Amino acid sequence: MSTVQPSPIVAPMTAEWRDFFALTKPRVMTLVIFTGLCGLLAAPGHVHPVLGFTAILCIAVAAGGAAALNMWWEADIDAGMKRTRHRPLPAGRMDPISARDFGVALSCGAVITMALAIGWLAAGILALSIFYYAWIYTVWLKPRTPQNIVIGGGAGAFPPLIGWIAVTGHITLMPVLLFLIIFLWTPPHFWALALFVQIDYSNVGIPMMPVVAGERSTRHQILGYAVVLLPLTLLPWWLGYTGRIYGLSALGLGLGFLALSAHVGLRRPLPADDAMTPEKRLFKYSILYLFVLFGMLVVDHLATTAGA
Amino acid sequence: MTQPMTPTELAAFRARQKSRSRALALVLGALVVLFFVISLVKIKNAADLRHQMAMTPPAAEPTDSH
């Protein structure tokens, strides 16, 4: 009798368009599109609506391309985490080569279109943002250091900067402040999530802050970032780049963010079965916070322009 | 070696392939329209700029007082 085992039957790779769409992380893309649009609408000057739409489309497609490359690289990690194991690659609905090619095609297409329609500065920063997320964050930082999300947060901070440049054609202090706001918002936002999914991260060996430095240190750092974020969000008002609508909104929203962060940051050691309600509340609020803050930036700009 | 697909599997495979092809055709069609419109806008912007420059009187040449 032969001892040779029959070859496993390989299921055909029949990825649907929905699987390709899932590779682009549509939920993350929502925030990218929104902040990019706010940067574009709050910038001084005028851009033709078609070119404005193209700029936002390029930002969105580039974010989708970078996300696809991230999923291609992290397929084995995603397979080990409850939150991500149903993604197209770990679930076996797509072959890795298709995911990689899809990511490269979206990234290159977005950068080339941005260069031809908007300009080389916007396209260069768009290319940098893709490289930052797909290589610096995903490949280099994430598996190596608990500071991954701190430095990697820069990847998500580019859209308002690019949106602004699409209108003005150059970089000034205001879009850099918008970049810094998202940069400093990312650690408390992400660590709030990491606190309640840290078992997932430790299972796959990703050195997220709660896994490496412990919960106590992470909580203190969340509070620290929230303290620094509040005056930073008020800087555009103090420097005269925005009006009272933005300033008072930033103050109110920032105090709320600080209060929720203090609740998370000053919590005593918790039992293993804790529901992590304050952490989940901070995570949800942080998303709302960024949406409203950038929304108010646009409202303020439109009100100022209308009043001028 | 892979086993041949059953008629049901083959039908499902073809349906997925068809839906992918339709989505790709839609995206390509949308891109053609987008690039066409971008071209029109860029041409119009350039024409407006040229018209504006033609209407602006040239700055007076600095005169040498010596």
pLDDT at A265: 92
Q: What's the complex ipTM?
A: 0.79
From A148, A171, A194, the end of a domain falls on A171
Q: Could you tell me the residue range of the domain that residue A66 belongs to?
A: 16-171
CA-wise closest residue to A282 among A153, A179, A154, A185: A185
CB–CB contact A54 B38 (8 Å): yes
Mean pLDDT, consecutive 10-residue stretches, chain A (308 aa), reads 40 76 92 96 94 97 96 90 88 91 97 96 97 93 87 89 96 96 95 82 80 88 96 97 96 97 86 83 96 97 85
CB-based contact A48 B41, cutoff 8 Å: yes
From the list A250, A58, A92, the residue with the least C-alpha distance to A163 is: A58
Closest C-alpha among A95, A81, A65, A117 to residue A202: A81
With beta carbons less than 8 A apart as the criterion, state whether A77 and A204 touch.
Answer: yes
Determine the Cα–Cα distance for residues A152 and A140; give it in Å rounded to an integer. Answer: 10
Task: Report yes or no on B65 lying in a domain.
Answer: no
Based on the fold, state whether residues A149 and A31 are members of the same structural domain.
Answer: yes
Residues of A in contact with B21 (CB under 8 A): none
Q: Are A225 and A289 in contact (CB under 8 A)?
A: no
Residue-level pLDDT at A154: 86
Interchain pair B34, A54: CB under 8 A: yes
Cβ-Cβ contacts under 8 Å, A8 against chain B: none
Residue B61 inside a domain? The answer is: no
- Give me the long-range contacts of B12-19 (CB less than 8 A, separation at least 24): B12/A14, B13/A12, B13/A14, B16/A14, B16/A15, B16/A16, B17/A14, B19/A16, B19/A17
Note whether residue A308 is domain-resident. Answer: no
Amino acid at A29: M
Domain total in chain B: 1
Classify residue B64: in a domain, yes or no: no
Probe site for chain A from B10, B14, B38 (most A CB atoms < 10 A): B38
Per-residue pLDDT of chain B in tens (66 residues, 90 and over written 9):
567 888 888 888 888 889 889 999 999 999 999 999 999 999 999 999 888 888 887 766 665 555
Instruction: Kindly state whether residue A5 falls inside one of the protein's structural domains.
Output: no
Amino acid present at A298: V
Query: How far is A56 from chain B, CA to nearest CA, in Å?
Result: 13
Query: What backbone torsions phi and psi does residue A288 show, to the nearest 5 degrees?
Result: -60, -40
- Indicate which of B39, B41, B49 best probes the interface with A, i.e. most A CBs within 10 Å of its own CB: B41
Q: Hey, are the CB atoms on A50 and B16 less than 8 Å from each other?
A: no
The CA distance from A1 to A6, in Å, is 13
Tell me the count of A-B CB pairs closer than 8 A: 36
**Side-chain half-sphere exposure of B22, counting CA atoms within 13 A:** 8
Query: Does residue B66 lie in a domain region?
Result: no
- Residue A159: half-sphere exposure toward Cβ, Cα within 13 Å: 27
CB-CB under 8 Å, B38 with A116: yes
Residues 6 or more apart whose Cβ sits within 8 Å of residue A105: A65
Distance of CA B15 to the CA centre of its chain: 29
In-domain check, residue B13: yes
Judgement on whether residues A220 and A269 belong to the same structural domain of the protein = yes
Estimate to the nearest angstrom the gap between the alpha carbon of A299 and the chain centroid.
23
Domain that holds residue B17: 9-54
Q: Could you say which of A171, A204, A229 is where a domain stops?
A: A171
Distances in Å between the alpha carbon of A150 and those of A183, A185, A208? 8, 9, 11
Directed axis angle between helix A215-238 and helix A173-196, to 10°?
A: 160
Asked whether residue B40 is assigned to any structural domain, the reply reads yes
The angle that helices A154-168 and A49-73 make with each other, rounded to 10 degrees, is: 160
Task: Note whether A177 and A146 are same-domain residues.
Answer: no
User: Are residues A177 and A233 both part of a single domain?
Assistant: yes
pLDDT digits (tens, 9 = 90+) for B47-59: 998 888 888 877 6
Q: Distance (Å) from the C-alpha of residue A59 to the closest C-alpha of chain B?
A: 15
Cβ contact A182:A35 at 8 Å = yes
Q: How many residues belong to chain A?
A: 308
Q: Taking a contact as any Cβ pair under 8 Å apart, which residues of chain B between 9 and 38 contact chain A?
A: 9, 12-13, 16-17, 19-20, 23-24, 34, 37-38
Q: Do A26 and A158 fall within a single domain?
A: yes
**How far is it, in rounded angstroms, from Cα A256 to Cα A287?**
13
| Residues of chain A contacting residue B16, judged by C-beta atoms under 8 Å apart | 14-16
A59 touches A162 (CB < 8 A): yes
In total, how many domains does chain A have?
A: 2
pLDDT at A93: 87
Cα distance between residue A80 and residue A87, in whole Å: 11
